[in-house]
Amino acid sequence: MLKVVEIEHLTIQYPDVKAIDDVSFTINQDDFLGIIGPNGAGKSTLFAAMLGLNTKYKGTIKFFGTDIRKSKSYLKEIGYVPQKPIFEKNFPATVNDVVKMGLQKESDENKIDEILQQLWIHELSERRIGELSSGQQQRVFIAKALVNSPKVLILDEPVTGIDQQSIDLFYSILKELNSKQNITIIWSSHDLDAVNKLANHVACLNRTLFFHGESDDFFKNDDLVKQYSEASMQKHMHNH
């Protein structure tokens, strides 16, 4: 099995707190990995390091066998969907414009139509991005992430603030991308039920890694499930 990501002894120290403490794990091709943990557990910090946005860390992160500090070429193989994309609400960009921004070769423009149809947003292609609902916007950002046919899709709590109907559609799209297009998915979420339904691997992160393995093994362990569902909920409610 091809190793897509290898993280070894990753430690990220902020001035007042250790955000990630000696975390090591491997993600293989075709994995659908759900990363769970309460708010402040270090999920977004981990993603920022994996995406090369934060280079101040100890340890090693390898994508496709290459240390990401030595080459940024791995980014061409990655699609990234942030928690809530920040952009100027009045930005004059249509759905088509936004998806096209993600396109690395102009010659692949035909792919845009194909992906917009796949994500059921083809009719919105000439609408301004700021006019769409959160759920529609998130599908546009997935389309942008997919337009270069990435081998890996990284999603940071992508359904925050989205209606249930859009969430269900979003999850079915993710499942299909992993099972039919063999895209490795790395997805952080608070929703244990969704992780149970979709992911084939689970990582429990709370600054350090408490569990990493097949999702069946995680969900068979009642203590672990209870601990993570309570920890997530308490922290989640506390933050709201």
According to CB under 8 A, which one of 21, 59, 66, 100 is a site residue for other proteins? Answer: 100
CA-nearest of 89, 209, 90, 79 to 154 is 79
Containing H/E element for 98?
A: helix 95-101
Question: Using CB under 8 A, which of the segments 8-16, 17-25, 50-58, 107-115 binds other proteins?
Answer: 50-58
Q: Near other proteins by CB under 8 A, which window of 19-27, 70-78, 189-197, 228-236?
A: 70-78
Contacts with 220 (C-beta within 8 Å, 6 or more apart), sequence order: none
Position among 26, 85, 134, 208 found at the interface with other proteins (CB under 8 A): 85
**Do the strands 78-81 and 18-28 form a parallel or antiparallel pair, or are they unpaired?**
unpaired
Query: For residue 180, what are its two tokens?
Result: 């039919």
Q: Is 122 in the site for other proteins (CB under 8 A)?
A: no
Angle at 12 between CA 7 and CA 13, to 5 degrees: 165
Phi first, then psi, for residue 31 (nearest 5°) are: -65, 145
169: contact with other proteins by CB under 8 A = no
| Residue (91 or 120) nearer to other proteins, CB | 91
**β-bridge mates for residue 67, sequence order:** 62
Q: Which residues on adjacent β-strands are paired with residue 12?
A: 20
Q: Residue 5, interface with other proteins (CB under 8 A)? A: no
Tell me whether residue 225 is exposed, middle or buried, using C-beta atoms within 10 angstroms of its C-beta: 0 to 12, 13 to 18, 19 or more.
Answer: middle
Q: Is the Cβ of residue 93 or residue 224 nearer to other proteins in the bound state?
A: 93
Residue tagged 């950002």 (tokens)? 141
Going residue by residue from 170 to 209, which x/- string records binding to other proteins, judged by CB under 8 A? ----------------------------------------
Determine which residue in the list 16, 56, 92, 223 makes contact with other proteins, applying CB under 8 A.
92
Interface ranges with other proteins (CB under 8 A): 51-53, 72-73, 75-76, 78, 80, 82, 85-88, 90-94, 96-98, 100-104, 126-128, 131, 144
